Structure 1
């Protein structure tokens, strides 16, 4: 708090002092026996005013540390929630300190309880995902064992539904791990074509059923990434392309290298994305006009997770689309220039 704001808060005290000074002057002026000269009265008023100003300055300086303490906590914003008030100088300040510190204690207790509940929920989700994968794997094995006895259409429907369940289960698992990403990743050099081919093999049923033509262009470039998380990202993108591409359509993956880094582009000739939806496709829960169609079942989590995981890995995921013509999603793996810059600086 500045000194002028402090004076504004003390305006009642200043008015009271001025009123008392005026009353004193009036009483002295009414004395019938001894009339005080006006210059003496003015000198007395000036002297008392100086003493009063000194009192205000001394009071402000005495409480200045308190005001600085409050101001520093206001500037700290969220960090101030862990910063207790200290060193009260008056009984009024002591009451404020007690009240604020109690609120901070209640906040910390509520936050700790919320974190425990959140951790319990994450552990339950992780446990549920691992438990549900056992009967899901058993159903997939049964489906494979009976696929020769079932008509092709029914067999595909069974495989499609099981794959979709597995896909949703994976989304739940990866969503629950977003906050604990730093504990579950390993950055190494990986060949992009190896991961892409694995994703395509795992989605081979959809490629064959819809007769989607797949093409992979470019050299087998290597990037620094986490194989498991990148596989999940590419699987989400390619699954979306398969979902929104008509039979006999095309999905093309292009690998290239630019000054910024390695680019991986996945292009389809599907239904495309409306311009008003394009800026929101990475928002959590957003499905857009395409996801609201009866023939398409969208959760609004796939691209959101792909975007979040890309950023955590240091990659950049962007999208371009033309309605009724197709969509291109580009994943950029920027070059790590820190060590090169540091080496060049040392050479200078």
Structure 2
């Protein structure tokens, strides 16, 4: 607190003091038994004013350390939540200090309860996902067992539905692990084409059933990433492209590199993304005009997870589209030197849609 603000807070006391001094002067001046000279009264007022100003300055200096302690905590922002207030020297300050520290204790207890609840929820989801995979695997075996007993079209439909269920179960699992991502990843050098082929194999039934062509272009590129998480990201992007690509369409994955890093582009020949939806395609729960008008059962989680996990891995995911001419999702794996480039940092902060 500045001295100016301190004086403003004590303005009532200052007015009261000078008002009392004025009344005292009137009483002394009018009292017939005390004939004080005008100069004597003025000298007395001057001395009282000097003593009062010295008192205010001393009081401010006495409280300044306390004010600085509070200001340091204000500057610390959320870090001050784990920093009990200390240094109270008067009964009033001790009462205030006790109140603030009690609030901090209650806040810490609330945070701990919330963290325990979140951990319980995460444990439940993890358990549910793993338990769900058992009947899914059993159902897949049963479907393969009756493959020769049902028409091929029905078999493909059953297989595709099972893949979709497994896809949604995986989404739930990875969504629950977003906050604990740092405990479950290992960045190494990987060639991209084997990871791309693994993603395509996971979606091969949909490609075959809808007669969608797949094309992989560009030379092999090696990047620093986590294979498990990257395959999940690619699966979300490819699955999204498959949803909105008509039969006999095409999905193309292109690999390239420039001064920024390695680029992995996934392009489809689908319906594209409306211009008004493009800035929000990575928002959680956003399905957009296409998701609402189609029967693709869009959840709005796939691209959100892809974007969030890309950021955590140090990659950047962008989207561009022309309505009616398909959409392109570009995943950038920056070179290590690119992180230290000021121009690169500005680029990394751009909007979702990119060139």
For residues 139 and 23 of structure 2, what CA distance do their matches in structure 1 show?
A: 97
Cα distance between partner residues in 2 of 1:314 and 1:294: 33
Count of residues in Structure 1 that have an aligned counterpart in Structure 2 = 341
Conserved in 1, the CA contact under 8 Å of 2:260 and 2:338? no
Q: Does 1:296 align with 2:296?
A: yes
Other structure's SS at 1:254 match: strand
SS in 2 for 1:55: helix
CA distance in 2, matches of 1:148, 1:242: 27
Give the match for residue 239 of structure 2. 239
Alignment partner, residue 116 of structure 2: 116
- Aligned residue in 2 for 1:201: 201
- On the 8 A contact 2:261/2:338 being kept in 1, the answer is no
Q: Is the 8 A contact 2:265 2:330 kept in 1?
A: yes
Structure 1 distance, partners of 2:328, 2:16, is 75
* Residue-by-residue CA offset, 1:213-238 (whole Å, 9 max, x unaligned): 11100111110000000000000000
- Residues 1:311 and 1:155: Cα distance change in structure 2 (over 3 Å): same
Q: What does residue range 45-124 of structure 1 map to in structure 2 within 5 Å?
A: 45-124=45-124
Q: Map of 1:121-140 to 2, 5 A cutoff? A: 121-140=121-140
CA–CA distance in 2 between the matches of 1:118 and 1:156?
Answer: 39
1:277 and 1:147 map into 2 onto residues whose CA distance is 41
Over 3 Å counting, the alpha-carbon distance change for 1:338 and 1:218 in structure 2 is closer
Counterpart CA distance in 2 for 1:339 and 1:332 is 12
Q: How many Å separate the matches in 1 of 2:339 and 2:197?
A: 32
Give, in angstroms, the shift of residue 291 of structure 1. 1.1
CA distance in structure 1 between the partners assigned to 2:134 and 2:34 by the alignment: 108
Task: Report the equivalent of 2:20.
Answer: 20
Determine the C-alpha separation between the residues in 1 that align with 2:191 and 2:108.
46
Seen in structure 2, the aligned counterparts of structure 1 residues 262 and 294 have a Cα distance that, compared at 3 Å, is closer
Q: Take 1:340 and 1:114, find their aligned partners in 2: how far apart are those partners?
A: 38
State the TM-score, normalizing by the size of structure 2: 0.93
Give the CA deviation at 1:143: 0.9
User: Match of 2:89, SS?
Assistant: coil
Aligned residue in 1 for 2:192: 192
For residues 219 and 338 of structure 1, do their structure 2 counterparts lie closer, same or farther at Cα, with a shift above 3 Å needed? Answer: closer
1:314 is matched with: 314
Structure 2 SS opposite 1:88: coil
Q: 1:338/1:326 Cα in 2 relative to 1: closer, same or farther (>3 Å)? A: closer
Uncovered stretches (5+) of structure 1, i.e. residues with no partner: 342-348
User: Aligned residue for 1:4?
Assistant: 4
| Structure 2: gaps of 5 or more residues | 342-355
1:63/1:89 contact within 8 Å kept: no
Q: Which residue number in structure 2 is paired with residue 328 of structure 1? A: 328
* CA RMSD in angstroms, aligned pairs only: 1.4
How many angstroms does 1:208 deviate by?
0.8
- Deviation at 1:339? 11
| Contact kept in structure 1, 2:143 and 2:159, CA below 8 Å | yes
Query: Contact 2:269 / 2:327 at 8 angstroms: preserved in 1?
Result: yes
Distance in 2 (CA, whole Å) between partners of 1:114 and 1:193 is 42
Q: In structure 1, how many angstroms separate the alpha carbons of the residues matched to 2:308 and 2:95?
A: 45
Distance change in 2, residues 1:73/1:62 (3 Å): same
Structure 1 distance, partners of 2:147, 2:290, is: 32
Partner deviation per Cα, 1:48-103 (whole Å, 9 max, x = no partner): 10100000010111111111111121222211211111121211111111111111
Cα deviation 1:277-310 (Å, max 9, x = unaligned)? 1111101111011111242111110000000000
**Corresponding residue for residue 349 of structure 2:** none
TM-superposed CA distance for 1:3, in Å, is: 0.8
Q: 1:166 is matched with which residue? A: 166
Using the alignment, how far apart are the partners of 2:49 and 2:113 within structure 1? 57
Note if contact 1:215-1:251 (Cα within 8 Å) is conserved in structure 2. Answer: yes
User: How do 1:244-283 and structure 2 match up within 5 A?
Assistant: 244-283=244-283
Q: How far is 1:340 from its partner?
A: 9.9
